[in-house]
Chains A and B, each alone.
Chain A
Amino acid sequence: MNVLDVDGLKKFFHTRVGAFGGKPVTVRAVDGVSFHIETGEAFGLVGESGCGKSTVGRAVLHLIPPDAGRVALHGQDLMQLDPAELRALRPSMQMIFQDPYSSLNPKQKVGAALAEPIRVHGRGSGPEAERIVADLLQEVGLPAEAANRYPHEFSGGQRQRIAIARALTLDPDLIIADEAVSALDVSIQAQILKLLSEIMQRRGLSFLFISHDLGVVRVFCKRLAVMYLGRIVESGPVGPVFDTPLHPYTQILRAASPIPDPSARTELVRLSGEIPSASNPPPGCHFHPRCPFATDLCRTVTPKTTEPVTGRHVACHLHDPAQADAMRATKPLAAKELYFP
């Protein structure tokens, strides 16, 4: 069974723009996102800032209540639960944050921070909690003395280890890692990635791994979904999606991601255009203003998700057999040449 099923998840934010109240604006942060995570699998969620990937993570955890859709943990729909039932389920899903400096309470010793959830959920008290904390510290590669120190005495990498230990205190089934290694230096990032994959193997954990870094996702995840302005545009196994991306956005994202190899140096993508705001997304396919293959159809009709290759899904008219004639009929207006190695 899948550890997590997400179906048609939606989260809109309502704000006002301008002075003295201003005019109401709806930001469609997550606009109908569906995916599933198999048990023991690391699933990547990739996209640029403002695409809604972090909102998906928080809505799955119900840290912010979703507006519509279904989020099911082990087949149990979280949207149907009352607050008490939800609180009882919380230990099964935990989160690791990007910034190891703000994710730990500065006034709380590491030992106390790790023991607190164990005591609150009645998983152990006194010496037993202390033993669990000592084991956790060892598991994340920190000395036992760390329990008696405050977070500010540790480096960024060590703090991230503490945050990982805290996420493990309640023995979860699913961990949502939101840019968990993005703030770290390369050599520390590699250490933390290694630690996370060891823990995943040992405990049979599943991960929702949110990142903007395609390299990190390729190393850590088995499958992934690419998001653009609140929607998933492509999903599938990591290798094929990165090696032969189907959606034009994935192609551009992949081409723009730097590769540490000067012999593979190519003409830098001189792709023009900005990422539009999610409060005012373009009609039709959200990506059409930046897409070199955009046609009139793309400007008006939202593309359906199809499965052109088994296990790979893409939301683009180019890959929808039902739209093949319509796409041929409407020539791209600005046929820019897209470079892709």
Chain B
Amino acid sequence: MSATSASSGGLVQTFNRNKLSWVGIVLFMVLCLIAIFAPFVAPYGPIDQSVMTRMRPPSMEHLFGTDAFGRDQFSRAVYGARISLSVGVVSVFLGMSVGGLLGVLAGYFGKRIDTVIMRSMDVLLSFPTLITGIVIVALLGPSLTNVIVAITVTLIPKFARIARAPTLAVKERAYIEACRAMGFSHARIILFHIVPNILTEILVMASLWTANAIMIEAGFAFLGLGVRPPTPTWGGMIREGFEHIFQAPWMSIFPGLCILLAVLSLNLIGDGLRDALDPRLKQVRDMG
């Protein structure tokens, strides 16, 4: 009894019980606000150079210190949040929409459509993320858009797989049969009766993969495959700091911490969503 009520008790109540997921939400909101209002938050311009203040350690004037060009690392990290977070959010949103829809179609129609969609997804999945990224960036040239395209392409098959499995389960439920008996169209059944019932499971993965996408972007930037300098990104900052890791460790540590915070907040949100989804896990934890 309690299991059924918990599973359908709504996200907000479950989130209320899991305090940590609220910490994650607040943290992520703060990061997003900082990114949106970067010009107001950052005390200096992200590419303003100053020969006088090169490689300064953190101080009240320069919270995160300065780099080899005397640029304020805090301001760069604030502007870098724009790139990192938008790459994460946009690529996951695109990957979720396209991949999720393909997965739902494959699961719902089955047979030939299922085979064609899922086999092509398997092909995409068989290339490692980094290789796919390198190929796409090499073909299209390094830019923000192309980084997003590269990450989206690697996310599509993952979302397709995640969406297909619950679709298979939901389509066997009697209310879908009832919809067919009432003469509803496939589009209506998919949009109004299948998608809402698998959305939570997809959102859990979306939050976790946003964290992943942020890290992948940082990896691309570290390898010089991402946005061109001098535009700041967290991954790019780590790479620039790497050359001076022994003289000026703060140059790499602070952007690293930013990535950590973003990933941590998204993982906390993902855990909260998962509790909302699978109340049995939650109950076991409460009991033990």
Contact = CB atoms under 8 A, between A and B. Distances in A.
Q: Do A and B touch directly, given a CB cutoff of 8 Å in the complex?
A: yes
A166 interface: yes
A152 B4 contact: yes
A89 B287 CA distance: 53
Q: Classify chain A: how many residues form its interface, as a range.
A: 20 to 34
Q: Is the interface of B mostly helix, strand, loop or mixed?
A: helix
Interface stretch (A26-34, A45-53, A101-109, A237-245): A101-109
Q: Classify chain B: how many residues form its interface, as a range.
A: 10 to 19
Contacts of A120: 182-184, 188
A117 interface: yes
A166 B183 contact: no
B202 to A, nearest CB: 14
Contacts of B188: 120
A55 interface: no
Given A87-B183, A152-B4, A107 B178 contact: no
A222 interface: no
A105 B197 contact: yes
B257 to A, nearest CB: 39
A102 B8 contact: no
Contacts of B182: 90-91, 94, 117, 120-121, 166, 169-170
A220 interface: no
A105 B8 contact: no
Contacts of B8: 106, 150, 152
Contacts of B175: 102-105
Contacts of A170: 182
B174 A97 contact: yes
Given A97-B174, A99-B174, A152-B5, A91 B183 contact: yes
Interface in A105-119: 105-108, 116-117
Contacts of B4: 101, 152
B197 A63 contact: no
A58 B184 CA distance: 16
Contact of A97 (B177, B183, B192, B196): B177
A108 B188 CA distance: 13
A294 B73 CA distance: 92
Contacts of A97: 174, 177-178
B183 A121 contact: yes
Contacts of A58: 177
Contacts of A103: 173-175, 178
Contacts of B7: 152
B174 A63 contact: no
A233 interface: no
A73 interface: no
A107 B196 contact: yes
A217 interface: no
A74 B178 CA distance: 22
B244 interface: no
Contacts of B180: 63
Interface in A42-84: 58, 61, 63
Contacts of A102: 173-175
Contacts of B178: 95, 97, 103, 163, 166
Contacts of B174: 97-99, 102-103
Nearest to B9: A152
A163 B178 CA distance: 9
A171 B154 CA distance: 49
B60 interface: no
Interface string B181-214: 1111000100011001100000000000000000
Interface string A134-176: 0000000000000000101000000000010010011000000
A3 interface: no
A107 B181 contact: no
A150 B173 CA distance: 17
A318 to B, nearest CB: 39
A93 interface: yes
A128 to B, nearest CB: 18
Contacts of B177: 58, 63, 95, 97
Interface in A221-277: none
Contacts of A93: 181
Interface string B5-19: 101100000000000
A229 B16 CA distance: 53
Nearest to B8: A152
Contacts of A104: 175
A95 B182 CA distance: 9
Contacts of A150: 8
A63 B184 CA distance: 12
Contacts of A107: 196-197
B122 to A, nearest CB: 18
Contacts of B184: 116-117, 120
| Chain A to chain B: the 7 pairs with minimum beta-carbon distance, closest first | A90-B183, A152-B8, A103-B174, A97-B174, A107-B196, A87-B183, A117-B182
Given A87-B183, A90-B181, A107-B196, 16 more contacts: A88-B183, A90-B183, A93-B181, A94-B182, A97-B178, A98-B174, A102-B173, A103-B173, A103-B175, A103-B178, A105-B175, A105-B196, A108-B192, A120-B184, A152-B4, A166-B178
Interface of B: 4-5, 7-8, 173-175, 177-178, 180-184, 188, 192-193, 196-197
10 contacts: A58-B177, A97-B174, A103-B175, A105-B175, A105-B193, A105-B197, A106-B8, A117-B184, A152-B7, A152-B8
